[in-house]
């Protein structure tokens, strides 16, 4: 994948994390509501037993209430579904975070590869610049030597010409004598 595709994937994955927050809050609310129902049931049971104890008379138990049975089962169901839902959200969010970490790792690898390529390119350019600078210095030195040698040689030629062999000045009006 290229860099823009990885960034887009990471953005999409991070945006989908928000939906898990809603589910997690819903399942946590179910657990809390189920625990409240359980507490109500425990307090009711305690009050019933306290009432029987204060009476001091042993008598047959009252008929069980279907309402309180339904409340007890609803509380247990809410807690069970809520805990299972929280587990499911945790597993799904973990898988999503793993995908995000993998995409981030791929992006970092891609950027590091680009940086290494740029570093190698810079090293090659630096080596080429140093080589060109060395060649330019050599050429400059050779040119200086050539200028110095040619002017010295020219001077030497004038000095070495024996007298009487110098060329005579000509004028434009003079004819070539033959």
Residue 91 in tokens: 């597993």
Residue range 75-104, pLDDT digits in tens = 999 999 999 999 999 999 989 999 989 988
Residue 55 in tokens: 């009476």
- Enter the pTM of the model: 0.56
Phi, psi of 56, deg, nearest 5? 75, -5
Can you tell me the distance from the alpha carbon of 14 to that of 8, in angstroms, rounded to the nearest whole number? 10
Residue 32 in tokens: 């809390």
Residue range 123-166, pLDDT digits in tens = 888 888 888 888 888 877 777 766 555 555 555 545 556 666 66
Can you tell me the distance from the alpha carbon of 2 to that of 103, in angstroms, rounded to the nearest whole number? 11
| DSSP classification of residue 38 | H
Length of the chain: 178
To which residue do tokens 């279907």 refer?
66
The residue extents of the domains of the chain are 3-57+64-144
């Amino acid at each position: 994948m290229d860099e823009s595709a990885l960034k887009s994937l990471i953005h999409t994955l991070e945006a989908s994390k928000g939906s898990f927050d809603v589910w997690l809050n819903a399942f946590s609310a179910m657990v809390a509501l189920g625990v409240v129902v359980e507490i109500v049931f425990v307090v009711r049971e305690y009050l019933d037993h306290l009432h029987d104890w204060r009476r001091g008379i042993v008598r047959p138990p009252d008929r069980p209430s279907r309402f309180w049975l339904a409340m007890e089962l609803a509380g247990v169901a809410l807690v069970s579904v809520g805990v299972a839902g929280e587990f499911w959200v945790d597993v799904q969010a973990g898988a999503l975070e793993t995908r995000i970490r993998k995409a981030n790792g791929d992006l970092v690898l891609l950027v590091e590869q680009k940086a290494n390529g740029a570093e190698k390119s810079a090293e090659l350019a630096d080596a080429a610049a140093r080589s060109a600078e060395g060649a330019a210095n050599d050429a400059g030195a050779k040119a200086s030597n050539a200028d110095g040698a040619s002017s010295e040689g020219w001077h030497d030629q004038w000095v070495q010409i024996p007298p009487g062999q110098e060329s005579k000045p000509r004028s434009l009006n003079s004819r070539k004598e033959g």
